[in-house]
Structure 1
Amino acid sequence: MVPLSFANQEFALTTSGALFWRAESALLVADLHLEKSSFYAKHGQMLPPYDSRETLERVAEAIRETGARRVFTLGDNFHDNEGSARLEPHAAGMLSALTRAVDWVWITGNHDPHMGAKAGGTIAEELEIAGMVLRHEAKRGETRPEFSGHYHPRLQLHVRKRFIRRPCAVVSRSKTGGDRIILPAFGALTGGMDAKDPAILDAMQPADRIDAVLPAAGKLAQFPLWRRAA
């Protein structure tokens, strides 16, 4: 877990891709995509049906690591609206235990805009807490501090003839508006988009600078993605 200054507050980014909001004792995670494997199985592509267990184990570990008393998920919690109904008993028990142990809020996404209440916790389309907006997809032109997911950003680098891809957060900073951050996908069965993809850079405007950040060797590594021309 490494410190991250954001919107004049102190946060911590875990190696698993969760963000701990110290002032709110809250853990933010994006794009769990629970029951993705069972969704594909319904359509004839058989995958090992344990992705939900692995993802929920990672959430539980992040809660233990940070001591969070609240959890906010930033959309695409399930891979589809019926995902919560397909949870097998073990995973359903894990999720029930987690939503009882902490104050749990699901923010819905494009994959699960009408997810049911069976999973426990409470459901919202988006929230504003302490002046910061929590939503699934970054809103171009937003000038308040914002947390989002949706894009599954990954840093892609060529280092010593090796191609490296790592999940990362994308942070934009602006002198005229709020800082904004896109979290990496947290789910065990999720892919990713190049962090410097034009769709991500456009969604984070207005900005003076946009960086990819991720924990590395116990420190916050930062890689420039975009800079406003002088």
Structure 2
Amino acid sequence: MLLLAVDTATPAVTAALHDGTSVVAESSRVDARRHGELLLPAVDRVLAEAGVKLDSVTAVVAGVGPGPYTGLRVGLVTAATFGSALGVPVYGLCTLDGLAYASGLDVPFVVATDARRKEVYWARYASARERVGEPAVDRPADIAERVAGLPAVGAGAVLYPETFPDARGPEHVAAGALASLAAAKLAAGEQEAGGSGDGLPGHGFLPPLPLYLRRPDAQVPKNYKVVTPK
């Protein structure tokens, strides 16, 4: 087994290789404006570090978000392209689940990432492997009572200490954590992309499709002027 994992749902552009036992190579760089420029070089780095060629990859793992429209699509389109070119499966995982898994916490907690617009993408967890409910996007003040007293992981927690006073690392997802979570799922027999459809970390993979949770920032103007030739 050789899993290639990528994620561009947060400002971190991250790629990793996992051999079914451990992460063998990983590359991450935080730059919210250069997802498209940085992802393929990151993949090249992890392949070179591991001393393997791309055609050695047996499956691709992609963080599906939630995340901003443009950055998120970079990782998912890249994962789909690799999967098609190599003829291997592409497994989707919630990016928040990757952060939760990396935290290693075994108590109830929250994962929150920066959704911009003074909002956070967030979800509650019973443990590092068990999400409670579906991811959501909200203003921190609107969820303060629902997350009160819980540790919080992710850059969104760091940005809003008044709502998340017990903020902890990691701030950004790492592809190595996604790959390790995927390897654990595959070892447990969770083969089918989509799983049971409930989105829980312990209940199958998600389809490798973007999880936006809201409309994209860029939209076609409603009343744009149409110019026709005379």
Taking structure 1 as the reference length, the TM-score comes to 0.30
Largest Rg, 1 or 2: 2
> Structure 1 or 2: larger helix share?
2
Greater length-normalized contact order (CA 8 Å, ≥ 6 residues apart)? 2
Taking structure 2 as the reference length, the TM-score comes to 0.30
> Structure 1 or 2: larger strand share?
1
